[in-house]
Amino acid sequence: MKTRLPEHGPLETPRFWRTLEERTETPEAQAAAHDEFLPGAGPTGYDDVHGLPVQSGFSRRDFLGLVTASAALAATVACDRKGQGTVVPYTKRPVEVVPGVANYYASAHQEGRRVYPVLVKTREGRPIHLTGNDEHPGVKGKTSPRTMADVLRLYDPDRLRAPKAEGRVIGWAEAETRLNEALKAAKASGKPVLLVSGAVASPTRKALLADLKAALPVLEHLAYEPAAGDAAEEAAKASFGQPVDLQPRLTKAKVILSLGADFLNGEDPESLAAWGAQRRLKSAQDPINRLWVLEGPLTLTGTNADVRVPVSPSRLGAVAFALAKELGAKGLSLPAGTDLSGISAGAPADIPAATWASLVKDLQHAGRNAVVLCGAQMPVEVHQAAHLLNALLGSEALVVSPAEPLASVKELETAVQGMAAGRYAAAIFWDVNPAFSYPKASAWKEAVAKVPFRAWIGQVEDETSAQCQVLLPENHWLESWGDFSTPGAAVLQQPTIGTLYDTRQGEDILLGALKALGASAPDGYHAYLQARWRKDLPLGTSFEQALHDGLVKTESKAAAPTFRGASVAAAAKRAADSKADGLELVLFPGFATHDGRHANNSWLQETPDPITKMTWDNPLAVSVQDAQALGIQEGDFVTLAVEGTTLRLPAVIQPGQAKGVLALALGYGRGTGGVAKGVGANAYPLMGLDPASANVRKGARLAKAGGTKELSRTQSHHRMEGRDIVRSLTMDEFAHNPQGHHHMPELVSLYEDQKFPDHKWGMVIDLAACTGCSACVVACQSENNVPVVGPEQVARGREMHWIRIDRYYEGELENPKVVHQPMLCQHCDNAPCENVCPVNATNHSPDGLNQMAYNRCVGTRYCANNCPYKVRRFNFLEYTAYKTEPETLANNPEVTVRPRGVMEKCSFCVQRINDVKIRAKGESRPILDGEITTACMAGCPSDAIVFGDLKDPKSKVAQLVAASRAYRVLEEVGAKPAISYLADLKNPADKATVGGPHAH
């Protein structure tokens, strides 16, 4: 269904709306509201060979290529065991493995500079699920959506399984000989060797690279992270004289100002936990923080703002410096040497005067309890202004510490020029893909071809490996040893499974090279790591204990760098002189793909983007105003041109995006990988080579290109029109009417009340704490074997996720407020689905669960039609039958893998409930409150989800159900759902609250 901008305003605009169509009640929206499924969702034909319903215009080849973790299937055969891999039984079972009982191991995952300590759940020796390590003082049991999904990458069929040279499979002896001989020859000739890797967050890896540099003096190392944001690095060097790591401590923040910083997007579980803790209010008298957001594209953080003002990125620097000047004039001490003479006093034209006055007053009143955060992709002047503001405020909510340097795209360009000039004797690319992410792909290809020896270390062959002679397959991190330095703890990484293929750890490859160059070193990186740790462990701590816990708690010894006030003048002048030049394009890491490394992960590709609700694509986000001016409708193809580089992209119209700003996600348009190949467009060619503004490009040109594309997005599916679904309260409304706008009285029913002899399981979801990060969606998919269906099926409304995040807008198109609401099976006491099932496949359990008997379901879909919440998923196609090993190893054996033709839905993770029941019974004790955690609850970094026994009046869930903000969705239909919601809260900056009790 195509979304069109309104030509005329509606007679009556609904308070909450999810799409432009819903807001204007177009005929298309009204027609769609009467149908259970989107147009075309029903099968129109049948494939007799494979037993699959098919669509007109949808080929079996397309389907088979997308329902698996890669398209590497032997899968045009019938449904037998042929071609589905071999099952290898234990020959010697490990001592700690008990069949049917899960084991947990502490480990860690690195993504860029960020490290995620995790607990790995294994069954019969295979990792199947990831959660955060609850021993870590920062993450406290939480992690990011991409980390949870990375267990799927372990079982990616596209992984390189043995070394290669010039396209042929070779043994490790030949591969290492070729590498080591090339390094020896380079050392003898004195010509440099280029090593490009990702960020170095491991002290032991850093030590290994130092040892390698000592043995090979000609080695030049670049740590390159294309999605890190070069401007942030440049600003840190200017403001502090060195790269820094900025760690928000939001528990101390009463006022937060975001300058394009998307810190609530799920990547930082510590910030999300702190946010949730300050939003889960019991009464209107509880303290609450206030979030101000100034940004161009609408971010997830912007959707959670108390006050959001659309401002183009090129103007953010001038606004932030003007704010610093205003605060200085009101008595806050500017750092020594600060010169803001080039900045005009007073409110900038970008911000209404009243809003400006409120912001200044809020920051002034909060002082040390305020913090300013800047988005990594923002121009360098914005970062420097943020550093100045934090120094001016004396913020105690931000920890600034030294960091390992990263190479900018400019430094990479210098290396490319060196390769083109024949400067390097050899080049090694380790777990990076610069052939894809370097903006000038053709220049890279020509330059790298002139390096005599090129080696690649990685997991899945990519654009960079295609240009290398020797390919060295690397272990997945779940097969590897390692360590990391994180705030508050030194973290260990340990393998949780033996290597699946003939692969090696990257550090082991370099350690072999080190020994070949004549240096003495232990046999294997495990021994190298262990020797270093045993030497540095605190007194009384054993390596085995550290390995068990996954960490050793530490205190930071590094002194905080000093802010240089003299660095401000030039940046302030550049910000003041910044002028708009056509449209501005903001390039940001993709929610699913990051910098492209996760593009081959189907779980992430199919998780809806939290803002656009797009899957399997990166359309260009255009503001409502610009779309109207250019006559662009949603799904239209457009041409985007920046400094001679042109891309043809579909457009998505984004309410709340600043006028004159375009936004495009990085990491798509890959040329390799069964899942990644051809999905979306590669946006890296549009990046600039100036580190100060590489991700924000001025002078973009946009025009209609002709043609349209059906967007695979989920926001218009399962519509629930005009009902009291989501509630959002300001703090004043919470004080005067804590139950929301209206509350339904208890209904008289012909049903007898349900009797629950022992337990009545229920859930409460706090919308004020939920940021919409989708961690619960990924956690549920991993835990419950939820299948991937592909973009064509998503476009038809056939996505299979058991939990969805509904995104509701409120207000005007140009800058609406946003509320996120997780929606899953409500486990109703009077479940409408149960009455209409002709085979009793959906029924009620003695402890209040609405359960499904899959082998009884015949797929009538009556239950889905009768469900007022639209939370049931019909399994239209054989989404899992053609999966091969190792993909199937990611399945949770405690959960049925469902066949085609049955209805699926949330089960409240009944397998986890029964696991705790069995353990409690075996120990002759009652089940403890909080002992059962559903996957969504465990994965939620803001602790917005609480699960427990409603029959226990002392349980947390029972107490929250009685809270003043609690309500049940569609309680007027009398279904009596077991899930309650707590209304969302906003703390706007009006005259009654600015600087007042709600803020502080």
Helix (H, G, I), strand (E, B) or coil at 645: strand
Q: What is the CATH number of domain 580-708?
A: 2.40.40.20
pLDDT range class, residue 30, cuts 50, 70, 90: low
For the chain, the average pLDDT equals 88
**Whole-number pLDDT of residue 723:** 73
Percent helix, percent strand, percent coil in the chain, to nearest 5: 30, 20, 50
- Residue 430, pLDDT > 70, answer yes
Domain borders along the chain are 35-41+715-986, 164-228+406-536, 230-402, 580-708
Task: Give the other-Cβ count within 10 Å of 901's Cβ.
Answer: 16
Summarize the confidence of residues 49-69 as an average pLDDT. Answer: 42
**Whole-number pLDDT of residue 714:** 86
- Residue 65, pLDDT > 90, answer no
Under 8 Å between Cβ of 511 and 521: yes
How far is residue 416 from each of residues 440, 441, 444, 833, measured CA to CA in Å? 10, 11, 6, 62
Model confidence pLDDT, tens digit, residues 578-630: 777 789 999 999 999 999 999 999 999 999 999 999 999 999 999 999 999 99
**DSSP at 900:** T
Q: DSSP strand E in 710-864: where?
A: 728-730, 761-766, 804-810, 817-823, 842-844, 850-852
Cα–Cα distance measured from residue 291 to residue 262, given in angstroms and rounded to the nearest whole number? 12
Q: Do domains 35-41+715-986 and 164-228+406-536 have the same CATH topology?
A: no
Cα–Cα distance measured from residue 480 to residue 290, given in angstroms and rounded to the nearest whole number? 42
Least confident of 178-187, 515-524, 707-716, 935-944: 707-716
- Residue 557, pLDDT > 90, answer no
pLDDT range class, residue 72, cuts 50, 70, 90: very low
Model confidence pLDDT, tens digit, residues 272-291: 999 999 999 999 899 999 99
Model confidence pLDDT, tens digit, residues 116-130: 999 999 999 899 999
Q: Which tokens hold the place of 11?
A: 């007679």
Cα–Cα distance measured from residue 494 to residue 496, given in angstroms and rounded to the nearest whole number? 6
Tell me the HSE value of 766 on the side-chain side, using a 13 A CA sphere: 28
Tell me the HSE value of 177 on the side-chain side, using a 13 A CA sphere: 6
pLDDT range class, residue 539, cuts 50, 70, 90: low
Cα–Cα distance measured from residue 491 to residue 487, given in angstroms and rounded to the nearest whole number? 10
- Residue 715, pLDDT > 90, answer no
- Residue 349, pLDDT > 90, answer no
**Whole-number pLDDT of residue 69:** 39
**Whole-number pLDDT of residue 103:** 92
**Whole-number pLDDT of residue 884:** 74
Cα–Cα distance measured from residue 947 to residue 566, given in angstroms and rounded to the nearest whole number? 53
pLDDT range class, residue 62, cuts 50, 70, 90: very low
Percent of the chain whose pLDDT exceeds 90: 73
**Whole-number pLDDT of residue 205:** 96
Task: Give the other-Cβ count within 10 Å of 648's Cβ.
Answer: 13
Cα–Cα distance measured from residue 116 to residue 775, given in angstroms and rounded to the nearest whole number? 14
How far is residue 173 from each of residues 169, 176, 508, 857, measured CA to CA in Å? 12, 5, 13, 55
Least confident of 529-543, 772-786, 941-955: 529-543
pLDDT range class, residue 42, cuts 50, 70, 90: low
- Residue 836, pLDDT > 50, answer yes
The full DSSP string for 362-400 is: HHHHHGGGEEEEE-TTS-HHHHHHHHHHHHHHT-SSEEE
- Residue 29, pLDDT > 80, answer no
**Whole-number pLDDT of residue 578:** 79
How far is residue 524 from each of residues 201, 494, 512, 529, 927, measured CA to CA in Å? 20, 14, 8, 9, 46
Task: Give the other-Cβ count within 10 Å of 500's Cβ.
Answer: 18
Summarize the confidence of residues 670-697 as an average pLDDT. Answer: 93
- Residue 652, pLDDT > 70, answer yes
**Whole-number pLDDT of residue 580:** 72
Model confidence pLDDT, tens digit, residues 210-255: 999 999 999 999 999 999 889 999 999 999 999 999 999 999 999 9
pTM for the full predicted model: 0.90
Nearest to 985 by CA among 745, 735, 651, 812: 735
Nearest to 316 by CA among 350, 290, 265: 350
Q: Which residue has the higher pLDDT, 403 or 4?
A: 403
Under 8 Å between Cβ of 136 and 488: yes
**Whole-number pLDDT of residue 724:** 76
Q: What is the CATH number of domain 164-228+406-536?
A: 3.40.50.740
Q: How far is CA 938 from the centre of its chain?
A: 16
Cα–Cα distance measured from residue 762 to residue 948, given in angstroms and rounded to the nearest whole number? 6
If DSSP states are collapsed to H, E and C, what string results for 573-633? HHHHHCCCCCEEEEEEEECCCECCCCCCCHHHHHCCCCCCCECCCCCEEEEHHHHHHHCCC
pLDDT range class, residue 33, cuts 50, 70, 90: low
Task: Let me know if domain 230-402 sits in CATH 3.40.50.1000.
Answer: no
Task: Give the other-Cβ count within 10 Å of 28's Cβ.
Answer: 15
Nearest to 713 by CA among 804, 835, 824, 580: 804
- Residue 34, pLDDT > 60, answer no
**Whole-number pLDDT of residue 722:** 60
Nearest to 796 by CA among 711, 881, 906: 711
Q: Which residue has the higher pLDDT, 745 or 572?
A: 572
Model confidence pLDDT, tens digit, residues 776-798: 999 999 999 999 999 999 998 89
**Whole-number pLDDT of residue 48:** 40
Strand partners, 638: 649, 704
| Block residue for tokens 């032997």 | 74
Cα–Cα distance measured from residue 224 to residue 201, given in angstroms and rounded to the nearest whole number? 12
Cα–Cα distance measured from residue 692 to residue 395, given in angstroms and rounded to the nearest whole number? 25
Under 8 Å between Cβ of 198 and 437: no
Summarize the confidence of residues 279-306 as an average pLDDT. Answer: 95
Summarize the confidence of residues 299-307 as an average pLDDT. Answer: 96
pLDDT range class, residue 974, cuts 50, 70, 90: confident
Task: Give the other-Cβ count within 10 Å of 931's Cβ.
Answer: 15
Tell me the HSE value of 109 on the side-chain side, using a 13 A CA sphere: 27
Model confidence pLDDT, tens digit, residues 444-491: 999 999 999 999 999 999 999 999 999 999 999 999 999 999 988 999
Burial 387-419 (b: 16+ CB within 10 A, else e): bbbbbbbebebbebebbebbbbbebbbebbebb
Strand partners, 489: 486, 553
**Whole-number pLDDT of residue 424:** 97
Residue type, 616: W
Cα–Cα distance measured from residue 999 to residue 289, given in angstroms and rounded to the nearest whole number? 5
Under 8 Å between Cβ of 279 and 768: yes
- Residue 39, pLDDT > 70, answer no
Please give the helix or strand (H or E) that residue 530 lies within, else none: helix 525-536
- Residue 54, pLDDT > 60, answer no
pLDDT range class, residue 63, cuts 50, 70, 90: very low
Fold of the CATH domain 35-41+715-986: Alpha-Beta Plaits (3.30.70)
**Whole-number pLDDT of residue 757:** 87
